[in-house]
Amino acid sequence: MKKKINTLLFIILICSSFSSYAQQVIPASKFEIQGKPFENTPRYHRVDTLKYKSLPAAVKKLYTHATGMYVTFKSNTGKLSLRWKTVDAELGNNSTPIMSRGFDAYVKEANGWRFAGVARPDLKKAESNAIVVEDMANTEKEFLLYFPLYKELLDFEVIIDEKASFLATRQSFNKTVVVYGSSIVHGASASRPGLAYPAQLGRRLNANVINMGVSGNARMEPAVADMLGDIGTVDLFILDCVPNSSPEEVKERTFNFVARLRKSHPGVPILLIESITREISNYNLKWKSRLTEQNKNFRLQYEKLLQAGYKDLYYLPTDHLIGDDSEGTVDGTHPTDVGFERMLKIIGAKVGAILHD
């Protein structure tokens, strides 16, 4: 009998020891998903592709990616972890696993959001479990978690200390900016989600920046213009779609695309950004000719729009966007974090001036 009692006490002691390390799991349903262009889309899709049936198939698939979405919450936890699942574990050949399938976290400070840590995805399985940051002071902090950029996210859970406080929050912004564009807008090749230039732009200007990048498929189709036109209140549209459009498509589609946006959002400023100088064109004459024709045609269409009486149009040339030292990209096309920082210096100043006006 005494032996049984001692065994029972030992089990109780072991259990109480484990309980000090117990955690509470916060399901996705407890958060308010932010950075979405539309409400009531399936899962963490940016667009309800069943509603917009005329979108090209590749565009539909890319809009299932959770690109640009995030959650914010307050907690005094000393440790922050994540469990999540993406549609698969595949990775691109010019991106980091963290950018493509992982998360990164920021904490709000008096002077803005400060990087706190990343959730590294499992390289073989679609399900991942990772510590984001630990050994923090048990003071209340407001966290921001950016979702994976290049994957369809199926579900996620936030894990905090067992007795930690938790309060889901929603950020308040005065301005909403919609960025439509290529893989560069989508986030390639930032090292992590929060360094994609739309995310950086949002933090820098305290604006609700909605990422509508579609890697390799930003070609200004009428159906895309109509879908973007259905987004509610918008203070600025940014069109950074030249890299994916052939010189002929730029010539044939730019005017109509802008006209359709203007019809749905009269008076809303539209910023047209030329393609960055592809460093691959330093010696590749075919790419150099394509880039020159793309940007030349884009400028001509912008001038045509002005001549036709369209107002509130702005333009950014390719000059200096990723610097002039040929060190701003990972593969001659997609910016590194350094390249994105250089882009932000110019684009951020332009966007800030437009929103101020």
pLDDT digits (tens, 9 = 90+) for 325-355: 999 999 999 999 999 999 999 999 999 999 9
pLDDT given at position 22: 83
> pLDDT at position 21, please?
53
**How would you list the strands of the sheet with 313-316, edge to edge?**
208-213, 176-181, 236-240, 270-273, 313-316
- 226/312 Cα distance (integer angstroms): 19
Contact partners, residue 66, CB within 8 Å, separation at least 6: 44, 45, 46, 147, 148, 149, 151, 152, 153
Helices (H) and strands (E) counted in the chain, each on its own, are 9, 14
**Which tens digits make up the pLDDT trace of 42-87?**
999 999 999 999 999 999 999 999 999 999 999 999 999 999 999 9
Surface-to-core class of residue 308, CB atoms within 10 Å of its CB (0-12 exposed, 13-18 middle, 19+ buried): exposed
> Sheet of 153-161: strands edge to edge?
23-27, 153-161, 80-86, 127-133
pTM of structure: 0.93
Q: What is the set of domains in the chain, with CATH numbers?
A: 23-169 (2.60.120.260), 176-356 (3.40.50.1110)
Take residue 12 and report the two structure tokens written for it. Answer: 């109780």
